[in-house]
Amino acid sequence: MKSEKITLPDESAPNRWYQDACGAALALEFVGERWALLVIRELMLGPRRFSELRADLPGLSANVLTQRLDGLERSGVVQRRRLPPPAAVQVYELTDWGREAEPIFHALGRWALRSPCHDPALPLSPVSAMLSLRMMLRAQREPLSMTLRFRFPAAVFTGHLSPTGLQIERGDGAGADVVFDTDTGTFIGLIYGKRPFGAAEAEGRLRLEGDRALAQRFIDCFALPPKLPAPAD
């Protein structure tokens, strides 16, 4: 009897959920699983340790995070590497191709924020707060140039605003025109809720350093998109 060769499926290959040649369908095969996009978001501003990703995505279990990182690595979106001594720890970071996804986040976020279902009171990670600035920077704004520092309880970022855009990087750079020392919830209230600085300072939730007038002009560079009407019952 002639034996028949049986080819088993490659379990390491990405699942073909849609069997559709559309590029959007292919993108969903890479990033469509729950939490995948948020993992990518948390890597947008540089490499992170596994424990740091867990801390900023508190609703995500260690097991699911491992699965998402493995899947994104197989797809070529994420890569892992070991930092040189003295750190000598493993970190995850986006590949060059993975970083190309940032404009997609901006477009998707601006689109979703028009929904009346958006709840600005929900928690926001420091990275998400910083990316929201790049997302919601008004095209028609005062052509300012300044350096800013954003100090949150577990993260520090430096921003460079210019007439052409806003660049953000991790860490304390040299010098800053304005320093926001606060938590992400208070910060978002200042930026998008236009809450007065004095009110947050009186509650002990904000320490503002530098040029206050320039800080207010920075705040004025951002606005949420107009909301859609709530669906009829």
Domain edges within the chain: 23-100, 105-219
Q: Which residues of the chain register pLDDT less than 70?
A: 1-16
Please report the pLDDT score of residue 19 as a whole number: 85
Distance CA 118, CA 131 (A): 17
Please report the pLDDT score of residue 12 as a whole number: 47
Please report the pLDDT score of residue 197 as a whole number: 97
Please report the pLDDT score of residue 16 as a whole number: 61
Residue 32: CB atoms within 10 A of its CB come to 15
Residue 184: CB atoms within 10 A of its CB come to 21
What is the rounded radius of gyration, in angstroms, for the C-alpha atoms of the chain? Answer: 21
Q: Which numeric CATH code is attached to 23-100? A: 1.10.10.10
- Per CATH, the architecture of 105-219 is what? 2-Layer Sandwich (3.30)
Asked if residue 103 lies in contact with residue 92, where contact means CB atoms within 8 angstroms, the answer is: no
Name the nearest CA neighbour of 168 among 188, 153, 143, 150.
Answer: 150
* Identical fold, 23-100 and 105-219: no
Residue 173: CB atoms within 10 A of its CB come to 15
Please report the pLDDT score of residue 174 as a whole number: 76
Q: What does pTM read for this prediction?
A: 0.87
Distance CA 74, CA 43 (A): 16
Please report the pLDDT score of residue 70 as a whole number: 96
Cite the beta strand spans of the chain per DSSP E.
Answer: 78-82, 90-94, 146-152, 155-162, 165-170, 178-182, 206-210
Q: Which residues contact 213 (CB under 8 A, 6 or more apart)?
A: none
Please report the pLDDT score of residue 228 as a whole number: 94
Please report the pLDDT score of residue 11 as a whole number: 45
Distance CA 109, CA 183 (A): 21
